[in-house]
Amino acid sequence: MKTERYTAPKQRPTHVYIGRKACGCCVAVMTDLGDKMTGQAVSEFIQEGLTVERVTFEEYRTQIVNEPGFMGCHHEGQAEHLIEY
Ligand SMILES: [Zn+2]
């Protein structure tokens, strides 16, 4: 009786990856599931020029989500919208 199946962890994730823009706003979030998806998302953050941080879920829940620019940076609009003078 040895069935080795992958079972998703039922417990809450303990860490979260966040991506910050140069202005400091957190505009991307990926729960750290420790799998391929997570790694892929994080490398996408980096490709978008974001600074990736790994924070505890607690920190995320109590601090990051309360930051003024969280998922709503008003500094320069969308990255594709950068105005060049
Ligand atoms: Zn911003």
State pLDDT tens for residues 50-84. 999 999 999 999 999 999 999 999 887 555 555 55
Distance 33 CA to ligand 1 centre (A): 27
The pLDDT value given to residue 13: 80
Cα–Cα distance, 55 to 16 (Å, whole number): 5
pLDDT at 1: 61
Separation of 7 CA from ligand 1 center, angstroms?
A: 38
Q: What is the mean pLDDT of residues 15-35?
A: 96
Inside any domain, residue 84: no
Q: How many domains does the chain have?
A: 1
Q: Report yes or no on 44 lying in a domain.
A: yes
Cα 49 to ligand 1 centroid, rounded to whole Å: 13
Domain-embedded: residue 83: no
Q: Tell me the three state secondary structure of residue 15.
A: strand
Q: Kindly report whether the global pTM for this prediction surpasses the value 0.85.
A: no
Give strand pairing partners of 67.
none
Domain, as residue range, for 65:
15-74
Q: Is residue 41 assigned to a domain?
A: yes
pLDDT of residue 76: 72
Q: Is residue 79 part of a domain?
A: no
Span from the CA of 12 to the centroid of ligand 1 (angstroms): 29
